[in-house]
Amino acid sequence: MFHRVFFWRLLGGHLLFGLLGLLVVVGIVLLIVYLTDRKYKSPKATKSVDAPAAATAEAAPVAAVASAQDRFLTILSEQKATANMGAAEYEERRMVLEGGRGDNHANDELVALKERYARGELTTGAYVKARNKLLGLD
């Protein structure tokens, strides 16, 4: 009876090996989803009353990055609202700016460069070239 069932014949009669293979594939997919989610998760600044000074010192740069990033995105949204840029250009610039979340926002030149890019004063190519030069990636 079981030798005529399609699933049984598909696995060559080795149901245990088939289920093990399926389990491995599901595990790999879950691992990829977990690692991707962890990579693109935005840093969150949390403050509590009982937090030690070291924890608040670590949260300060995270908050600075978040506020600078929010400022760039606000400028970009204002440019889109005033009809200075289309939806496609807005999405491109937003993605480029969000890709630079890990940049050092204590560098005033880099912050000014990002603000100019958010205002639409620079093309994407010019921004990337100037950013790479500032970060020493050339």
Mean pLDDT of 117-121: 85
Q: HEC states along the chain?
A: CHHHCHHHHHCCCCHHHHHHHHHHHHHHHHHHHHHHHHHCCCCCCCCCCCCCHHHHHHHHHHHHHHHHHHHHHHHHHHHHHCCCCCHHHHHHHHHHHHHCCCCCCCCHHHHHHHHHHHHCCCCHHHHHHHHHHHHCCC
Instruction: Report pLDDT for 44.
Output: 52
The mean predicted confidence, pLDDT, of the chain is: 74
Instruction: Report pLDDT for 31.
Output: 92
- Beta-carbon contacts of 9 under 8 Å, excluding residues fewer than 6 positions away, are 3
